Amino acid sequence: MAKNKKIVVDINPEIRDVLVEMGAVDIYKCYQCGKCASACPWFQVGTYDFPVFRYPLETALGLVASSEEKEDLAKEVDKLYRCVGCEACVDQCPLGVDIPDILRAARRILLDFGCYPEPLKSVVQKIRNVGNPLGEPREKRADWAGDLDISAFQTHMEILYFPCCIPSYDARIQNVARSTARVLKKGGVPFGILGAKEQCCGEAIRRVGAESVYQEAAKANIRSFEAAGVRRVLVSSPHCLVTFKNEYPELGSSVEAIHATEYLWPLIEQGRLKPAKSVNKKVVYHDPCTLGRQCGIYDAPRKILRSIPGLALLEVEDFAREFSLCCGAGSGALWLDWPKGERIADVRIKQLVDTGAEVIAVACPYCLQMFEETVKAMNLNIPVMDVTEILYEALNEKGSAE
């Protein structure tokens, strides 16, 4: 009896209405079948109770993010920021209920109250202040290009290469941007960069709940694209891809976005790039959620890897393509940490290593950073490489069309 009374007191229709206004429109579709729960990576982790199927109903009742008690809100923060936005639940739901959107709506409310994880506050602030989550100076954004002799974008060029913040600044991951640029040069592709005139695409902070900072960043990029006359953007990050493709048009952008693997595979098919040097390794490909489930790109990275002589491509049985397990870095989680035994990345690395692979291949800078850190933390000795880095290795002088 007392329990029922508590629920009646907690039900908060005003919060429900605000959540719906902020994007949780799918709450009434859910019929509580529970199918989403087994698809969620937290189910594979197994040590943390994250019953995703409850969120649509709890939101419809106004129970999510509704408390005014500090302690209760802290629990909400821990819960709501566990979602890595992998969309495995959306994929499996018979009605396509968008649970990550429901949780993101709740994050927007928490963020408005300043109630969200400290590391994410710092990320949001850095993007607002200097245009990237690493807090690096804007004027160093093109430093990755070093001595590669890459021109500033000009209107007659076919594409703008937009490397993403992590490959622009992170000392290890800059090699992804460098490899991509070198491969483009070998394929004879006219391309340029914007350097300090571009900034974070804003995907991660939008998913964290920082809508206004996202909009500022997105509008600034759109202005830069327009001023430079950009029509086509090639990206290394699926997070930039999904944002430029699906979200920037809401703000008036008309640029076409294409992922590096999608762009490079046809160049190999046409013979403009010839991977001739053998890479005699067993390589397992990890499907990034944002590239696979969210953009439907599964084949281009595999085709590139299969075109490399000597390379044996492996798959994670039962957890490949649309069933891939998230690396655990999406929706701001790259900058968060959970106790040992409660980490999605540990579970995924184990799956990848258990294939017997000698190299883990990825096609997303977030996966790359997350896996590199995880492999080190697990004391494993397996390289993690972007597909473009492996392709560049396979392009010896004979592989150049130049």
* Closest approach of ligand SF4 to the CB of residue 2, in Å: 28
> What region does 27 belong to: left with phi over 0, alpha with psi -120 to 50, or beta?
alpha
Site for ligand SF4 contains 329 (CB under 6 A): no
Site for ligand SF4 contains 93 (CB under 6 A): yes
Count of CB atoms within 10 A of residue 327's CB? 30
Site for ligand SF4 contains 34 (CB under 6 A): yes
Q: What's the CA gap between 251 and 111, in Å, rounded?
A: 22
* Closest approach of ligand SF4 to the CB of residue 236, in Å: 23
**Total binding residues toward ligand SF4, as defined by CB under 6 A:** 25
Q: Cα dihedral angle (295, 298, 302, 303), rounded to 10 degrees? A: -80
Which amino acid does the sequence have at 370? M
Q: What's the CA gap between 89 and 60, in Å, rounded?
A: 18
Which one among 19, 27, 39, 205 touches ligand SF4, defined by CB under 6 A? Answer: 39
Strand stretches in 212-328, DSSP E = 232-235, 256-259, 282-285, 312-314
Which one among 23, 76, 77, 85 touches ligand SF4, defined by CB under 6 A? Answer: 85
Distances (CA, A) of 242 to 218, 352, 373, 381, 390: 13, 25, 25, 32, 24
Distances (CA, A) of 56 to 38, 83, 99, 130, 183: 16, 14, 7, 36, 46
* Closest approach of ligand SF4 to the CB of residue 337, in Å: 16
Residues 254, 291, 276: CA angle, nearest 5 degrees: 105
Near ligand SF4 by CB under 6 A, which window of 72-80, 92-100, 108-116, 190-198? 92-100
Which one among 33, 152, 227, 251 touches ligand SF4, defined by CB under 6 A? Answer: 33
Site for ligand SF4 contains 86 (CB under 6 A): yes
- Report 94-113 residues binding ligand SF4 (CB under 6 A): 95, 97, 99-100
Which one among 40, 142, 193, 268 touches ligand SF4, defined by CB under 6 A? Answer: 40
Which one among 12, 16, 56, 327 touches ligand SF4, defined by CB under 6 A? Answer: 56
* Closest approach of ligand SF4 to the CB of residue 13, in Å: 20
Site for ligand SF4 contains 51 (CB under 6 A): no
Distances (CA, A) of 208 to 100, 204, 253: 11, 6, 22
Closest to 252 (Cα-Cα) out of 226, 234, 229: 226
Which one among 15, 22, 24, 30 touches ligand SF4, defined by CB under 6 A? Answer: 30
Residues that bind ligand SF4 (CB under 6 A): 30-36, 39-41, 52-53, 56, 83-89, 93, 95, 97, 99-100
